[in-house]
């Protein structure tokens, strides 16, 4: 098994950062909204705040787990979550292959 040299790892990390740059830049101003969502669990209704994408409505992150234990994401971690969502779900918007939709004042399109 080949062992990676430190210079190889640094070079690969730089390439990965360069490939993610447009998605990270888009994530910095990505339209995200917060809403309360209801979920059924063990025959009980649970409510959790979710931060969701205004374009597709998909949840990007929740403020707590299903047992109401809070998550404490840093701003950098929130940006990483948005970056991952943008890359996975909206890469064609970022690259210009699809036009941006008109967004309403609140909620999703």
Averages of pLDDT over runs of 10 residues in the chain (109 residues) are 70 83 92 82 77 92 86 93 94 90 65
Q: Say if residues 92 and 21 touch (Cβ distance below 8 Å).
A: no
Up-side HSE of residue 73: CA atoms within 13 Å toward CB? Answer: 16
Q: 20 lies in a domain? A: no
Residue 38: what pLDDT? Answer: 78
Which two structure tokens, joined as six digits, stand for 65?
A: 């787990």
| Residue 1 included in any domain | no
Q: Specify the pLDDT at position 1.
A: 44
Query: Does residue 39 lie in a domain region?
Result: yes
8 located within any domain: no
Does the residue 41 lie in any domain? yes
Q: Is residue 3 part of a domain?
A: no
Provide the domain limits for residue 56.
25-109
Whether 34 is covered by a domain: the verdict is yes
The answer to whether residue 102 is domain-embedded is: yes
Domain count, the chain: 1
pLDDT score for 68: 81
Q: What is the pLDDT of residue 105?
A: 64
Quick one: pLDDT at residue 109? Answer: 47
CA dihedral of 95, 96, 97, 102, whole degrees rounded to 10: 120
**So what's the pLDDT on residue 107?**
55
Distance (Å) of CA 62 to CA 19, 28, 40: 27, 18, 15
């Amino acid at each position: 098994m080949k062992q990676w040299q430190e210079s190889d790892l640094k070079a690969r990390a730089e390439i990965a950062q360069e490939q993610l740059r447009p998605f990270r830049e888009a994530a910095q101003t990505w339209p995200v909204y917060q809403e309360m969502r209801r979920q059924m669990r063990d025959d009980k209704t649970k409510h959790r705040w979710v931060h969701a994408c205004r374009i597709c409505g998909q949840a990007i992150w929740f403020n707590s787990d299903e047992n109401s234990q809070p998550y404490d994401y840093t701003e950098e971690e929130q940006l990483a979550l948005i970056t991952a969502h943008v890359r996975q779900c909206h890469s064609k918007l970022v690259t210009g292959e699809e036009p941006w939709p008109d967004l309403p004042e609140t909620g999703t399109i």
